[in-house]
A and B are shown apart, each in its own frame.
Chain A
Amino acid sequence: MSTRPLGRPTTIDDQQMNHPFIEALETIYPPERILTRDAQLLPYESDGLTAFQSKPGAVVIPVSEEEVIATVRLCHEMALPFVARGSGTSLSGGSLPIPDGLVIALNRLNRIKRIDPQQRIAVVEPGVVNLHITEAAQPYNLYYAPDPSSQSICTIGGNIAFNSGGAHCLKYGMTSNHVLGMKVVLADGTVTQFGGESIEGVGIGPDLIGLFVGSEGLFGIALEITVRLMPQPELYRTVLAAYDDIGKAGDAVSLVVASGLLPGAMEIMDRLAIKAAQASVKAGYPDAEALLIVELEGEAPQVEAEFAQLQSIIESSGAFELRVANSEEERARIWKGRKSAFSAVGRLSPDFIVQDGVVPRSRLGEALLAIDAIKAKYGLDVANVFHAGDGNLHPLILYDGREPGALERAEALAGEILALCVSLGGSITGEHGIGMEKRDYLPAMFSEQEIDIMQALRRAIDPKEIANRGKMFPSGEAPALQQHGLHPLERQGVISRE
């Protein structure tokens, strides 16, 4: 049998795009790791947000950090825009290719180089899948805390670019709170190290890790990342409280926060979302206007003490029913309903948009009332599912795409909700990032001066603006926007970002 390398189609004769940068790339990569054919490039033209498509000029698949560095230096030299890509799960079009630019696919840089249980750290390459760190740390009773719901496939490199969160970031913080150090190649080819292996070292000087994490790939590529590992919680206590008024559920969140308790997660679902979850997974939820899920986790004595306190807070918050999970199965059932809520809403409506915004958690009740008023104005239904603990709203706007004008109404409604989030002192995104999707909303949140400072920083690091060009900033050199519309992923209810 033949001994051709994996991943190389042989039924098609070799022909490559005639382009000077392809020739230059051939000095770095063997031909089978430079993808240039239509059938190889098309699957890369979208990430998790298929409303945008843009075909790259080539995709390269490095297997070592030296190859990544050489590639970035080449791009800088030739002013060739590039996008670093992991698993392509961005919901904001963050890893959308630049037309005729280069995609640097980091999936094969997926080694976990070291787990140090004493120091509680892991040293990993950017293409390592989030969940694989936890799996590798499990034998030591450790885990990697940030848990975006795509954690079974999304990579650490992408988590760094978008400062990813997850249901449990309420207690443990986002990705930026878990990166201790990293070696990066900046967009101009400079290779440098930020931070180190100890938590103490991070506090000295400007927070360069903080600058890099969440920069949406505009500064360069992380090559080696040192992340913090956490001890696995010894005990979970999960409660489900039912309310006849969603305002009371919102107030309960404020009471919990004010009491000084810090649960692992605090989630609210409204009537429509409850109905959807019931229809989908028969979660056995009580019939209520709103449900609040609170989960405590940590060492047993502390969790038990906190649990008593939590129970009395919830009893005083006007809940008409309180359920406590008495087994792992009951806990799983409570979460299953919550986690399926997004996809389940697909059962209530042929189309829907999931919005992602943040309000200060003390103003949750106010935000929900305002959303009620907005939806009445548009005559559309909105189901609410959200991370109440950190004020991250995910209103699901229900509409029927076959009805003329319905999509436009739904999009306008979504825009009003974002404006509301900003006016309440919140944010236009909680977890998805700006990417392509929300770049035109950036000025709604930041002043001209702030955006100028960001641009100046970016140009200082990337004078040719080659790293992820066209993202985050409004009116950048935009990748071709072939189709604008709803978030198909969200319309289908696929995302269950917990």
Chain B
Amino acid sequence: MRHQIVSDDLRAPEMAEAIEKCVHCGFCLPACPTYNLLGEEMDSPRGRIYLMKNVLEERLAAEEAQPYIDRCLGCMACVPACPSGVEYGDLLVGYRALQEKERQRSPLDALARKLVCETLPYPRRFRLAARTGKIGKALLPALPASFASMLSLLPEKLPPARSLPPVLPAQGEQRGKVALLLGCVQQVLAPEISYAAAHVLAANGVEVHIPPEQGCCSSILLHVGAEEQAQVIARRNFDEIPEDVDAIITTAAGCGSGMKDYPLLFKGQPDAERASAFARKVLDFSAYLAGLGLRAGPGFASERRVVYQDACHLLHAQGHQGEPRTLLNQVPNLRLLSIADAGMCCGSAGTYNIDQPEIAAELARRKVESILAAQPNLVVSGNIGCIMQLRQELARQGWALPVLHIAELLMPAAGRSSAYAGETGWNERTPIG
């Protein structure tokens, strides 16, 4: 579409390009979860693009468009569905950051935002805050994306921290050398994920570096418009993470797509080249391991029926559809099941559980319905947000079906099968029927 956007915002060229490429053909409509539920143009990708265009052109007040932009899950299912190659993410992320800066903040909002910036990206502080109950619902309004939903599911008791050495040596013949990003919230809420990922990689002949002073991916800071602080944390990663690794491994979908956007964060700045070099190495756990081939996997004695739940930011934003499935297919006695509408968001994205409870609940309900129809005895995913969403919905419906990170499933291969299963409390179930 032709546009008349004049903005000196750093991301304006990317936003304008996305709008220019959109031709309003409607091929994105079937892929969009909110359009599927609501059937209204303003809740579709092309409708939102049109609204953002009109706001940026100053033909429409931002607060008029806000409810519809807020309702976008950011699942990026529209991106692979688009025949003309619109980078919807560039537009949405840029637009949201711009609006965040311009939004009038109440003192309470500002305080909550400050709290987010000061705690979430720092696991030690966050753990302390979460333990002492200083973090809670007050924070939620300022939180973006998956973070709010994760926090709304904050458990009564935090799991114990898992310590990992700065370097976990490869077992057997060494096949690779990687750095592992621990992330922020995940480190506190589900430390077992990074722990499992590190040990699975090591068992598969990979030397794993876990720099203790690493930062988080900084996506959360970008989401709340704290761009400079995001850059500080990103730079710390450039300094702390060794340059000679084959890959920088992420175990949460959002961290991966966030770090792949570093070049945009440092666009036109002295660190631009460094950011690009760093971003090129960022790779999801399952994609890296699939590339290497599974050497040591869990030894199931009898058939396990497994559903793999695609995280939107792995499937749509990073294009990892085949890799996790390749890995799972390499596990003996594991039967990978397919489900209907696998690419449709489970509703964990966004501040959905809080802001859009009906839509989030309906998406979760539909997702669980598709999963149950396949009669699995295990569900795995590559993203903590999806895992928590599915656990919550399954529990609500009264199903005792374990939902694990793919790294945890592969963990028994590291030779800790029974002990590990006992530790984490997941065990096998008979198929639902």
Contact A153 to B27, CB < 8 A, known contacts A7-B43, A12-B63, A496-B83: yes
For A12, the chain B residues whose CB sits under 8 A away are: 63-64, 67
User: Are the C-beta atoms of A343 and B27 separated by less than 8 Å?
Assistant: no
Contact A488 to B27, CB < 8 A, known contacts A43-B50, A61-B40: no
Please provide the chain B residues from 92 to 121 with a CB less than 8 Å away from any CB of chain A in the complex.
none
Q: Taking the nearest CB of chain A, how far is it from the CB of B24, in angstroms? A: 5
Q: Does B375 contact A (CB under 8 A)?
A: no
Q: Does B395 contact A (CB under 8 A)?
A: no
Most buried by B among A4, A12, A39, A488: A39
Contact A50 to B63, CB < 8 A, known contacts A42-B51, A43-B50, A343-B84: no
User: Are the C-beta atoms of A1 and B357 separated by less than 8 Å?
Assistant: yes
> Which residues of A approach B to under 8 Å, CB–CB?
1-7, 9-12, 35, 37-40, 42-44, 46-48, 50, 61, 87-89, 105, 107-108, 110, 129, 150, 152-154, 343, 346, 483, 488-489, 491-496
Extra A-B contacts (17), CB below 8 Å, given A50-B1, A494-B84: A1-B357, A6-B38, A7-B38, A12-B64, A39-B60, A39-B64, A47-B24, A48-B25, A48-B26, A50-B23, A105-B41, A110-B39, A150-B25, A152-B27, A343-B83, A489-B23, A492-B84
For B41, the chain A residues whose CB sits under 8 A away are: 43-44, 88, 105
Contact A483 to B24, CB < 8 A, known contacts A107-B39, A494-B83: no
Which residue of the partner chain A has the closest CB to B47?
Answer: A43
Q: Does B42 contact A (CB under 8 A)?
A: yes
Which residue of the partner chain A has the closest CB to B357?
Answer: A1
A481 to B199, CA, bound (A): 64
For B47, the chain A residues whose CB sits under 8 A away are: 43
Residue contacts A-B, CB under 8 angstroms, 30 given: A3-B358, A6-B38, A12-B64, A35-B40, A37-B64, A38-B64, A39-B51, A39-B60, A39-B67, A40-B40, A42-B42, A42-B50, A42-B60, A46-B50, A47-B24, A48-B25, A50-B23, A87-B26, A88-B41, A89-B26, A150-B25, A152-B30, A154-B26, A343-B83, A343-B84, A483-B2, A488-B1, A489-B25, A494-B25, A496-B83
Q: Taking the nearest CB of chain A, how far is it from the CB of B370, in angstroms? A: 15
Contact A46 to B24, CB < 8 A, known contacts A11-B66, A496-B83: yes
Q: Taking the nearest CB of chain B, how far is it from the CB of A288, in angstroms? A: 26
Q: What are the interface flags for B341-373 relative to A under an 8 Å C-beta threshold, 1 for contact and 0 otherwise?
A: 000000000000000011100100000000000
Please provide the chain B residues from 37 to 95 with a CB less than 8 Å away from any CB of chain A in the complex.
37-44, 46-48, 50-51, 54, 60-61, 63-68, 70, 83-84
Q: Does B193 contact A (CB under 8 A)?
A: no
For B66, the chain A residues whose CB sits under 8 A away are: 11
Q: Does B378 contact A (CB under 8 A)?
A: no
For A150, the chain B residues whose CB sits under 8 A away are: 25-27
For A9, the chain B residues whose CB sits under 8 A away are: 67-68
Q: Taking the nearest CB of chain B, how far is it from the CB of A291, in angstroms? A: 22
Q: Does B29 contact A (CB under 8 A)?
A: yes
What's the count of A-B pairs with C-beta under 8 Å? Answer: 111
For B54, the chain A residues whose CB sits under 8 A away are: 42
Q: Does B21 contact A (CB under 8 A)?
A: yes
User: Are the C-beta atoms of A39 and B83 separated by less than 8 Å?
Assistant: no
For A343, the chain B residues whose CB sits under 8 A away are: 83-84
User: Are the C-beta atoms of B27 and A6 separated by less than 8 Å?
Assistant: no
Q: How extensive is the interface on chain B, given as a class?
A: 35 or more
Q: Taking the nearest CB of chain B, how far is it from the CB of A451, in angstroms? A: 30
Q: Taking the nearest CB of chain A, how far is it from the CB of B91, in angstroms? A: 15
For B64, the chain A residues whose CB sits under 8 A away are: 12, 37-39
A89 to B51, CA, bound (A): 18
User: Are the C-beta atoms of B68 and A39 separated by less than 8 Å?
Assistant: yes
8 Å CB contact of B40 from A2, A5, A7, A483: A7
A483 to B84, CA, bound (A): 22
A1 to B51, CA, bound (A): 28
Q: Taking the nearest CB of chain B, how far is it from the CB of A358, in angstroms? A: 22
For A43, the chain B residues whose CB sits under 8 A away are: 41-42, 44, 46-48, 50-51
For B362, the chain A residues whose CB sits under 8 A away are: 6
For A152, the chain B residues whose CB sits under 8 A away are: 27, 30
A343 to B25, CA, bound (A): 13
Which residue of the partner chain B has the closest CB to A343?
Answer: B83
Which residue of the partner chain A has the closest CB to B59?
Answer: A42
Q: Taking the nearest CB of chain A, how far is it from the CB of B216, in angstroms? A: 30
User: Are the C-beta atoms of B84 and A11 separated by less than 8 Å?
Assistant: no
For A107, the chain B residues whose CB sits under 8 A away are: 39-40
User: Are the C-beta atoms of B23 and A488 separated by less than 8 Å?
Assistant: yes
Q: Taking the nearest CB of chain A, how far is it from the CB of B4, in angstroms? A: 11
For A40, the chain B residues whose CB sits under 8 A away are: 40, 42
Which residue of the partner chain B has the closest CB to A10?
Answer: B67
A43 to B111, CA, bound (A): 35
A392 to B68, CA, bound (A): 40
Which residue of the partner chain A has the closest CB to B1?
Answer: A50
A453 to B298, CA, bound (A): 76
For B357, the chain A residues whose CB sits under 8 A away are: 1-2
Which residue of the partner chain B has the closest CB to A1?
Answer: B357
Which residue of the partner chain A has the closest CB to B362?
Answer: A6
For B44, the chain A residues whose CB sits under 8 A away are: 43
For A1, the chain B residues whose CB sits under 8 A away are: 357
User: Are the C-beta atoms of B358 and A6 separated by less than 8 Å?
Assistant: yes
User: Are the C-beta atoms of A87 and B24 separated by less than 8 Å?
Assistant: no
For A493, the chain B residues whose CB sits under 8 A away are: 84
A150 to B357, CA, bound (A): 32
A54 to B362, CA, bound (A): 34
Contact A488 to B2, CB < 8 A, known contacts A9-B67, A38-B60: yes
A496 to B83, CA, bound (A): 9
For B26, the chain A residues whose CB sits under 8 A away are: 48, 87-89, 150, 153-154
A1 to B140, CA, bound (A): 14
Q: Taking the nearest CB of chain A, how far is it from the CB of B147, in angstroms? A: 19
Q: Taking the nearest CB of chain B, how far is it from the CB of A252, in angstroms? A: 30
For B23, the chain A residues whose CB sits under 8 A away are: 48, 50, 488-489, 491-492, 494
For B60, the chain A residues whose CB sits under 8 A away are: 38-39, 42
User: Are the C-beta atoms of B37 and A6 separated by less than 8 Å?
Assistant: yes
A492 to B25, CA, bound (A): 10
Q: Taking the nearest CB of chain B, how far is it from the CB of A279, in angstroms? A: 15
For A4, the chain B residues whose CB sits under 8 A away are: 358
8 Å CB contact of B24 from A10, A48, A108: A48
Q: Taking the nearest CB of chain A, how far is it from the CB of B135, in angstroms? A: 21
User: Are the C-beta atoms of B67 and A11 separated by less than 8 Å?
Assistant: yes
A493 to B47, CA, bound (A): 20
User: Are the C-beta atoms of B27 and A494 separated by less than 8 Å?
Assistant: yes
Q: Taking the nearest CB of chain B, how far is it from the CB of A394, in angstroms? A: 16
Which residue of the partner chain B has the closest CB to A42?
Answer: B54
A150 to B67, CA, bound (A): 29
A46 to B54, CA, bound (A): 13
User: Are the C-beta atoms of A108 and B25 separated by less than 8 Å?
Assistant: no
For A105, the chain B residues whose CB sits under 8 A away are: 39-41
Which residue of the partner chain B has the closest CB to A48?
Answer: B25
Q: Taking the nearest CB of chain A, how far is it from the CB of B5, in angstroms? A: 15
A37 to B67, CA, bound (A): 12
For A48, the chain B residues whose CB sits under 8 A away are: 23-26
User: Are the C-beta atoms of B63 and A89 separated by less than 8 Å?
Assistant: no
For A154, the chain B residues whose CB sits under 8 A away are: 26
Please name the 8 residue pairs, one residue from A and one from B, whose CB atoms are nearest each other, closest first. Answer: A9-B67, A43-B47, A43-B41, A107-B39, A39-B64, A489-B23, A1-B357, A492-B84
Q: Taking the nearest CB of chain A, how far is it from the CB of B232, in angstroms? A: 33
Q: Taking the nearest CB of chain A, how far is it from the CB of B353, in angstroms? A: 9
Which residue of the partner chain B has the closest CB to A4?
Answer: B358
User: Are the C-beta atoms of B25 and A6 separated by less than 8 Å?
Assistant: no
Q: Taking the nearest CB of chain A, how far is it from the CB of B87, in angstroms? A: 14
Q: Taking the nearest CB of chain B, how far is it from the CB of A43, in angstroms? A: 4
Which residue of the partner chain B has the closest CB to A152?
Answer: B30
